[in-house]
Chains A and B, each alone.
Chain A
Amino acid sequence: MSLRALLGQVLGCDNAKGATAHFWAQRLSGIGTLIAGLWFIFSILGIPGFGYADALAFITTPLNGVMLLLLVVVMAYHSNLGVQVVVEDYVHGHGLKLTALILSRFAHMFLAVAAVYAIIKIGLGV
C-alpha cells in the first residue's frame, strides 16, 4: 500500500468502499445530530434565560451535560463529513484540496475537543 492510498483512506475518500462508509456515517451522524439538536432546541426554549447563573445551572445538570457532550461530538463529526464533501466538490487542484481537507478535519477536531473540555470543566465546577 502506498502512502498516498493510506492518506486517502484516512481522509475517507479512497475508493467506492470508502464512499459507502462515508454515506452511512453521514446519514447516521445526521440522525444523531437531529435527535441531539432537537433536544437542545427544546432545552433552550425551556430555560428561564441566558444569564450566567441560568447557563451554569443548565450545563451543570448531569443529564444536560451528557446530552451536550453527545451533541457537540456528533455535530462536529457530521459537520466534518459535510464540509469534506463540499471541499471535494468545489476545491480544485490536488494540493489545495488535500490541504483544505486536512485543515477542515483539524478544525473540527479542535472544536469538538474544546467543547468537551468546556462542558466537563463546567460540570466538575473547577
Chain B
Amino acid sequence: MSNNGRPLSPHLSIYRWPITMTTSILHRVTGIALSIGSIVLVAWLFGVAMGAESYAIFLSYMDSILGRVLLIGWSFAFFFHLSNGVRHLVWDSGRGFEKSTANASAWFVLILAVILTALFWWIRL
C-alpha cells in the first residue's frame, strides 16, 4: 500500500470532532435518561394515587438539590430528544443530509433545546 506521506484517516492528532457526532451520541444518552426519568413520572402518579402522605414524601425527594438537578437535566433531555427526533424525521424523508445542512441543524437543535429548557423553568418558577 503506497501512502505518499498522506495522513491516515482518522488522523487523531488533527481530527476535528464533528458537532453531528455530539448530537448523535446525545440523542441516545438523552433517550436512556428519559427512559429512567419516566420512572419519576410514574412515581408522581403513584404518589398521588397512594394519598397525601405518600405524595408529600415524593415531593420532598423532588424538592431536594439532587431532585432539582435531575429535573432540570430531564427537561433538557426531553427538549433535546424531541428537537433532534424531529431532525431525524426530516432525515427519514431524505432531506437535510448535506454536510453543511447537517452541521447547521445540529447546532440549531442544541441551542433550541437549551433555550426551551431555560424558557420552561423561567415560566414555571
Contact = CB atoms under 8 A, between A and B. Distances in A.
Do A and B share a complex?
A: yes
Interface of A: 27, 30-31, 34, 37-38, 41, 44-45, 50-52, 55-56, 59, 68, 72, 75-76, 79, 82-83, 86, 111, 114-115, 117-119, 121-122
What's the dominant secondary structure at chain A's contact region?
A: helix
Given A59-B48, A68-B45, A115-B41, 17 more contacts: A41-B78, A41-B120, A44-B124, A45-B123, A50-B59, A51-B59, A52-B48, A56-B48, A72-B38, A82-B32, A86-B31, A111-B39, A114-B46, A115-B45, A118-B46, A119-B45, A122-B45
* Leading 10 A-B pairs by shortest Cβ distance: A118-B45, A118-B49, A79-B35, A115-B42, A52-B52, A121-B49, A82-B31, A118-B46, A52-B55, A55-B48
A30 B90 CA distance: 13
Contacts of A30: 85, 88-89
A68 B46 CA distance: 13
Contacts, number: 72
Interface string B71-100: 000000010001001101100100000000
> How many of chain B's residues touch chain A, expressed as a range?
20 to 34
Contact of A111 (B38, B59, B86, B124): B38
Contacts of A79: 31, 34-35, 38
A44 B45 CA distance: 13
A115 B88 CA distance: 29
Nearest to B27: A82
Contacts of A44: 124
